[in-house]
């Protein structure tokens, strides 16, 4: 939430105690408008002893699958056991480290919660979530397990669970850009730098990239929502973060928060003030990030009401958006590549209206395996909802084999679905993902690749595919042009040179280097007069063989009479499509032979010293021919 936008005097509190399951029927669940989402349970702010709600996240206990909602409040962070979704247990609160604040954010890594706030001097609280297993008399007041004081206040915190780094943003360091904190040992956070080149980051998503841009595969990439633009930064090297690109869009109000699609091809962004200041209905800007160096606007989606959008998250083929006074809105984004987004349901935790205003649903957490969704509401506290047609059954992933053929650059990409061997799901498989999908010449042979199979609700399973990487491209050889030569001086033959050693033949390959080139006839071969093909071959390390050839015409040295004939001889037109005329100005023409490129005589005629002869070539195939005159002179003719 933009920090200057919440007037406390405008917050309207309705006091409710614990509310149990209320089905969505006839367009409402009790007093709450809804479509397709049941109210499982809720806690009002009065129960949580707070004046306002803000952010939320969740934790699933890896030891038994129990689920816990984590909800930020103005005066602390509460933990709610939602394993029984219709009878949740408010376990207790971790009080703010310093003072109360409208803005608090929490994320989870390695069974620990990390909490920041815009309260002065708050720093980062660390809380061991495994302590929630043993709460006997809830609610209790918790104490933090560790505290990091390397910064004071921060608007938000981002965690990449793959790398084990936390990134507070919107702090008073690095111009409000991300601070790099190593939390691989959660209770011993270590400062490792930051990035401030693009100024204040309001929110961000940071991932170990496995999207479609091969240049950044495996890199740690930040997509920052930086108030007036989106920034893309490679932060893999904490001592040398590198900006990749920035992008803005029409009518920037306040670039607030966004999230990648599952395949990391598109990024859905919410602008927090374009509805209030620029007159839009709820607007989602979709960026095409398939080429991180060259991001572009894919399209914009606009709803039919003016409520302000806030935090949105993708799970499977669904986009879960906290839409302030319009509550939770859920969109089908399965056809986002074709610029289609469809709202498929909602639960409105702010029943008063869907108008512009900074009240209602602050955030949502849609990642529980049970399908239960947390809504944290500024005015009404905690809600737990679930889709009526929900599905929490994961697919059954079944991998097979696939082949990746390297291209002329020696690279290839696995299409994850090609490795599928009949994966199934009760509602249908939505997509296949593979992070290890880029291959090059070093990967030739068999590789084992993990494939992720997911359905529309984000349920997922994994399997391992056998991928064979092959190089089927033969080397490319470059040959000299066809040439005419004469016998060696004083000899009745021509000695074939080593064209490879002379550098007139070369070979390149997409994978192999140091290629060997063979020549036939070999260097040193003595050729009598005639037409010959000189053939070159090279075989790469994958046994692909490439070749090239050129024609060598060996001529007998011309006598005085032959030189006289040659100096006055012309053939026209050349190239020719119908006929050629052979004209001799100095000597008579006695014999004419036309030979094709293979050396076969296709025309032969004798005459009695004529000066000119016209020959019809119309029936000949297009190509190169040689005209031999008086068994002494050879001229090349092109038939087209």
- pLDDT band, residue 563 (cuts 50/70/90): low
pLDDT at 624: 83
pLDDT at 38: 98
Query: Do 164 and 115 sit in the same domain of this protein?
Result: yes
Give the closest residue to 257 by CA, choosing from 308, 199, 204, 220: 204
- pLDDT band, residue 568 (cuts 50/70/90): confident
Q: What is the CATH number of the domain that holds 513?
A: 2.60.40.10
pLDDT at 567: 80
Residue 299, in any domain of the structure? yes
Q: What's the rounded Cα separation, in Å, for the pair 187 and 164?
A: 12
**For 213-245, how does the pLDDT look when each residue is reduced to its tens digit (9 = 90+)?**
999 999 999 999 999 999 999 999 999 999 999
Query: Do 437 and 549 sit in the same domain of this protein?
Result: no
**For 113-157, how does the pLDDT look when each residue is reduced to its tens digit (9 = 90+)?**
999 999 999 999 999 999 999 999 999 999 999 999 999 999 999
User: What is the rounded average pLDDT of the residues 70-81?
Assistant: 98
**For 331-359, how does the pLDDT look when each residue is reduced to its tens digit (9 = 90+)?**
999 999 999 999 999 999 999 999 999 99
Q: Per the structure, how many domains does the chain have? A: 4
Q: What is the CATH number of the domain that holds 201?
A: 2.130.10.10
Q: What is the CATH number of the domain that holds 411?
A: 2.60.40
Residue 396, in any domain of the structure? no
User: What is the rounded average pLDDT of the residues 50-63?
Assistant: 98
Query: Do 533 and 566 sit in the same domain of this protein?
Result: no
Share of the chain above pLDDT 70, in %: 96
Are the C-beta atoms of 78 and 48 separated by less than 8 Å? yes
- pLDDT band, residue 557 (cuts 50/70/90): low
> Domain range spanning residue 412?
401-470
Residue 2, in any domain of the structure? no
Query: Do 405 and 502 sit in the same domain of this protein?
Result: no
Q: Would you say residue 562 has pLDDT above 90?
A: no
Residue 367, in any domain of the structure? yes
Q: What is the CATH number of the domain that holds 597?
A: 2.60.40.3080
Residue 356, in any domain of the structure? yes
Q: What's the rounded Cα separation, in Å, for the pair 128 and 70?
A: 13
DSSP state, 19?
B
Q: Among 360, 387, 414, which residue terminates a domain?
A: 387
Q: Among 532, 555, 578, which residue terminates a domain?
A: 555
Lowest mean pLDDT among 19-28, 226-235, 237-246, 496-505: 19-28
Q: What's the rounded Cα separation, in Å, for the pair 156 and 335?
A: 31
* pTM recorded for the entire structure: 0.85
List, in sequence order, every beta strand (DSSP E) within 3-149: 28-29, 32-35, 37-43, 53-60, 67-73, 76-81, 89-95, 104-109, 112-117, 124-128, 140-141, 146-148
Determine how many CB atoms are found less than 10 A away from the CB of residue 127: 25
- pLDDT band, residue 529 (cuts 50/70/90): confident
Query: Do 84 and 132 sit in the same domain of this protein?
Result: yes
Q: What's the rounded Cα separation, in Å, for the pair 530 and 526?
A: 12
Q: Would you say residue 7 has pLDDT above 80?
A: no
- Would you state the structure tokens that stand for residue 428, as one six-digit string? 């249908």
- pLDDT band, residue 595 (cuts 50/70/90): confident
Query: Do 201 and 110 sit in the same domain of this protein?
Result: yes
Query: Do 492 and 359 sit in the same domain of this protein?
Result: no
pLDDT at 6: 40
Q: What's the rounded Cα separation, in Å, for the pair 354 and 360?
A: 9
**For 150-191, how does the pLDDT look when each residue is reduced to its tens digit (9 = 90+)?**
999 999 999 999 999 999 999 999 999 999 999 999 999 999
Q: Would you say residue 450 has pLDDT above 50?
A: yes
Query: Do 203 and 316 sit in the same domain of this protein?
Result: yes
Q: What's the rounded Cα separation, in Å, for the pair 572 and 555?
A: 22
Q: What's the rounded Cα separation, in Å, for the pair 185 and 633?
A: 88
pLDDT at 609: 86
Q: What's the rounded Cα separation, in Å, for the pair 393 and 372?
A: 13
DSSP SS3 for 474: coil
Query: Do 492 and 594 sit in the same domain of this protein?
Result: no
Phi first, then psi: what are they for 637, rounded to 5°? -125, 140
Residue 29, in any domain of the structure? no
Query: Do 535 and 463 sit in the same domain of this protein?
Result: no
User: What is the rounded average pLDDT of the residues 410-430?
Assistant: 97
Residues contacting 216, CB < 8 A, separation 6+? 209, 234, 244, 292
Residue 395, in any domain of the structure? no
Are the C-beta atoms of 103 and 53 separated by less than 8 Å? no
Q: Would you say residue 2 has pLDDT above 70?
A: no
Q: What's the rounded Cα separation, in Å, for the pair 346 and 464?
A: 37
Q: Would you say residue 565 has pLDDT above 80?
A: no
Q: What's the rounded Cα separation, in Å, for the pair 224 and 169?
A: 9
Q: Would you say residue 3 has pLDDT above 70?
A: no
Are the C-beta atoms of 280 and 324 separated by less than 8 Å? no
Q: What is the DSSP string of 140-168?
A: EE---SEEE-SSS--SEEEEETTTTEEEE
User: What is the rounded average pLDDT of the residues 28-38?
Assistant: 97
User: What is the rounded average pLDDT of the residues 504-509?
Assistant: 98
User: What is the rounded average pLDDT of the residues 251-264?
Assistant: 98
pLDDT at 8: 36
Mean pLDDT value across the chain: 94
Residue 21, in any domain of the structure? no
Query: Do 447 and 492 sit in the same domain of this protein?
Result: no
Q: Would you say residue 11 has pLDDT above 90?
A: no
pLDDT at 74: 98
Give the closest residue to 320 by CA, choosing from 228, 380, 244, 257: 257
pLDDT top residue among 555 and 479: 479
Query: Do 547 and 575 sit in the same domain of this protein?
Result: no
Q: Would you say residue 14 has pLDDT above 70?
A: no
Beta-sheet strand order (sheet of 37-43) = 37-43, 381-387, 373-377, 361-365
- pLDDT band, residue 498 (cuts 50/70/90): very high
Q: Among 340, 356, 387, which residue terminates a domain?
A: 387
Sign of CA dihedral 289, 290, 294, 296: negative
- pLDDT band, residue 15 (cuts 50/70/90): very low
């Amino acid at each position: 939430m933009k920090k200057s936008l919440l007037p406390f005097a405008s917050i309207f509190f309705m006091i409710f105690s614990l509310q149990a399951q209320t089905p969505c029927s006839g367009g409402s669940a009790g007093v709450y408008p809804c479509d397709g989402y049941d109210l499982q349970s809720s806690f009002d702010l009065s129960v949580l002893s707070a004046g306002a709600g803000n952010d939320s996240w969740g934790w699933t206990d890896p030891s038994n699958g129990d689920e816990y909602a984590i909800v930020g409040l103005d005066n602390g962070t509460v933990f709610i056991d939602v394993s029984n979704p219709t009878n949740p247990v408010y376990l207790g609160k971790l009080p703010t480290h310093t003072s109360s604040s409208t803005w608090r954010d929490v994320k989870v890594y390695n069974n620990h919660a990390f909490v920041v706030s815009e309260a002065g001097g708050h720093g980062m609280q660390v809380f061991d979530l495994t302590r929630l297993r043993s709460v006997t008399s809830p609610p209790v007041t918790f104490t933090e397990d560790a505290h990091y004081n390397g910064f004071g206040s921060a608007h938000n915190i981002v965690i990449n669970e793959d790398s084990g780094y936390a990134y507070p943003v919107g702090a008073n360091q690095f111009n409000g850009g991300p601070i790099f904190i190593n939390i691989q040992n959660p209770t011993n956070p270590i400062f490792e730098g930051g990035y401030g080149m693009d100024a204040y980051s309001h929110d961000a998503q940071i991932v170990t990239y496995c999207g479609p841009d091969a240049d950044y595969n495996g890199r740690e990439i930040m997509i920052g929502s930086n108030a007036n633009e989106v920034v893309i930064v490679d932060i893999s090297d904490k001592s040398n973060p590198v900006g990749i690109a920035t992008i803005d869009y029409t009518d920037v109000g306040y670039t607030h928060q966004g999230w990648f699609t599952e395949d990391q091809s598109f990024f859905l962004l919410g602008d927090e003030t374009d509805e209030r200041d620029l007159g839009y209905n709820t607007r989602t800007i979709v960026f095409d990030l398939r080429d991180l160096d060259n991001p572009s606007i894919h399209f914009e989606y606009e709803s039919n009401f003016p409520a302000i959008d806030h935090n949105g998250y993708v799970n499977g083929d669904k986009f879960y958006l906290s839409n302030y006074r319009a509550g939770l809105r859920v969109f089908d984004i399965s056809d986002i590549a074709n610029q289609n987004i469809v709202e498929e349901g909602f639960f409105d935790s702010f029943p008063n209206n869907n108008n512009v205003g900074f009240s209602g649903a602050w955030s949502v957490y849609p990642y529980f395996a049970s399908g239960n969704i947390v809504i944290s509401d500024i005015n009404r506290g905690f809600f737990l909802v679930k889709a009526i047609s929900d599905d929490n059954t994961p697919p059954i992933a079944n991998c097979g084999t696939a082949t990746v053929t390297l291209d002329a650059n020696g690279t290839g990409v696995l299409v994850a679905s090609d490795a599928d061997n009949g994966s199934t799901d009760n509602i249908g498989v939505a997509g296949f993902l593979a992070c290890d999908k880029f291959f090059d010449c070093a990967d030739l042979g068999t590789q084992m690749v993990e494939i992720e199979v997911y359905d529309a609700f984000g349920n997922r399973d994994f399997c391992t595919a056998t991928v064979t990487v092959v190089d089927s491209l033969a080397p490319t050889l470059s040959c000299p042009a066809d040439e005419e030569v004469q016998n060696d001086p004083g000899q009745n033959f021509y000695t074939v040179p080593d064209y490879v050693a002379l550098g007139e033949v070369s070979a390149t390959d997409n994978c192999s280097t140091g290629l060997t080139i063979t020549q036939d006839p070999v260097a040193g071969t003595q050729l009598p007069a005639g037409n010959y093909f000189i053939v070159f071959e090279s075989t790469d390390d994958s046994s692909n063989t490439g070749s090239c050839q050129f024609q060598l015409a060996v001529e007998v040295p011309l006598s005085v009479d032959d030189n006289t004939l040659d100096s006055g001889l012309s053939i026209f037109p050349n190239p020719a499509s119908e006929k050629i005329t052979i004209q001799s100005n100095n000597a008579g023409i006695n014999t004419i032979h036309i030979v094709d490129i293979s050396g076969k005589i296709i025309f032969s005629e004798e005459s009695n010293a004529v000066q000119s002869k016209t020959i019809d070539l119309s029936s000949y195939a297009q190509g190169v021919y040689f005209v031999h005159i008086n068994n002494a002179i050879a001229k090349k003719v092109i038939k087209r």
